[in-house]
């Protein structure tokens, strides 16, 4: 990895090897990093490339640069993890989203379940999803991922998530009442390349919900004898999955 400072710039903004940075990137370059014309930065575009960009002009509202080198990279895990996360209180859900992006999640679907205390009204949904997409983009940028994970277009029911993820190689529901099976006990002949993961809200899943998802082929798995908080469970689950079949 290069020691240059990294910026995320959508590839549409790079034309003929020239690019213009605007907004918060400009103040970051000028006042925080104090970079000048002639200095280089690393630019991650959404096309799996890291570009070395030499700054040509550093102005008050715009920074112009020129691509001087390009390198193909892959920061995406060979295991595509699709997280179905029940809605938790606002800042907790935001945190789960950030941490999941850092841990290489492929998609995150917010779910509404029986014991969710958080209710998001239909009229607020678009705004919420927009905010989560922004968080996914910012977190990707911060951790150097070139592919921004997908945030589902709407908050879904458990059944919906199960139906959409029917084709994944492995389907797991993390359940604190499961007292025998942990991830290590899952023995597959072929390494899974995709996994759907369900994590419940603060109040957990109901027995009926567990039965429903089992019918869709989800296996219950334990994260150990202690009950983890709703914001801890997805971080641990993702780390374990990446360590077992992914890139961690």
Q: Which residues bind ligand SAH (CB under 6 A)?
A: 174-176, 199-200, 203-205, 222-224, 226-228, 230, 233
Shortest Å distance, C-beta 42 to ligand SAH = 37
Q: Are 74 and 212 in contact (CB under 8 A)?
A: no
Q: What does the buried/exposed string (b/e) look like for 186-207 if buried means 16 or more CB atoms within 10 Å of the residue's CB?
A: eeeeeebebbbbbbbbbebbee
| Pick 80 or 83: Cβ nearer ligand SAH | 83
Closest separation in Å from C-beta 199 to ligand SAH: 4
Q: Is the CB of 9 or the CB of 233 nearer to ligand SAH?
A: 233
Q: Which residue is nearest to ligand SAH (CB)?
A: 200
By beta-carbon proximity to ligand SAH, the closer residue of 48 and 176 is: 176
Residue 72's SS3 state is strand
Cβ of residue 193: shortest distance to ligand SAH, in angstroms?
23
Nearer to ligand SAH, 82 or 145 (CB): 82
* 16: Cβ contacts below 8 Å, ≥ 6 apart: none
Report the alpha-carbon distance of residue 133 to residue 152 in Å, rounded.
9
Question: Cβ of residue 113: shortest distance to ligand SAH, in angstroms?
Answer: 9
Contact at 8 Å (CB) between 106 and 80?
yes
């Amino acid at each position: 990895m290069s020691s240059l400072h990294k910026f995320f710039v959508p590839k549409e903004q790079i034309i003929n090897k020239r690019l213009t940075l605007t907004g918060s990137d400009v103040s970051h370059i000028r006042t925080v990093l104090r970079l000048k014309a002639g200095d280089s930065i690393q630019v991650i575009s959404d096309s799996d490339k890291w570009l070395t960009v030499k700054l040509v002009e550093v102005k008050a509202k715009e920074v112009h640069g020129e691509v001087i080198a390009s390198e193909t990279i892959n920061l995406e895990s060979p295991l595509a993890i699709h997280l179905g996360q029940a809605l938790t209180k606002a800042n907790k859900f935001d945190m789960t989203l950030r941490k999941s992006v850092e841990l290489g999640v492929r998609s995150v679907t917010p779910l509404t379940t029986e014991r969710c205390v958080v209710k998001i009204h239909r009229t607020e949904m678009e705004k919420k999803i927009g905010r989560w997409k922004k968080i996914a983009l910012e977190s990707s940028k911060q951790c150097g991922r070139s592919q921004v994970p997908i945030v589902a277009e709407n908050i879904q029911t458990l059944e919906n998530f199960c139906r959409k993820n029917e084709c994944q190689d492995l389907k797991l529901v993390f359940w604190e009442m499961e007292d025998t099976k942990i991830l290590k006990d899952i023995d597959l002949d072929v390494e899974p390349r995709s996994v759907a993961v369900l994590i419940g809200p603060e109040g957990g899943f109901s027995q009926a919900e567990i039965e429903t998802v089992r019918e869709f082929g989800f296996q219950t798995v334990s994260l150990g004898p202690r009950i983890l908080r709703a914001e801890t469970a997805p971080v641990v689950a993702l780390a374990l999955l990446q360590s077992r079949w992914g890139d961690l």
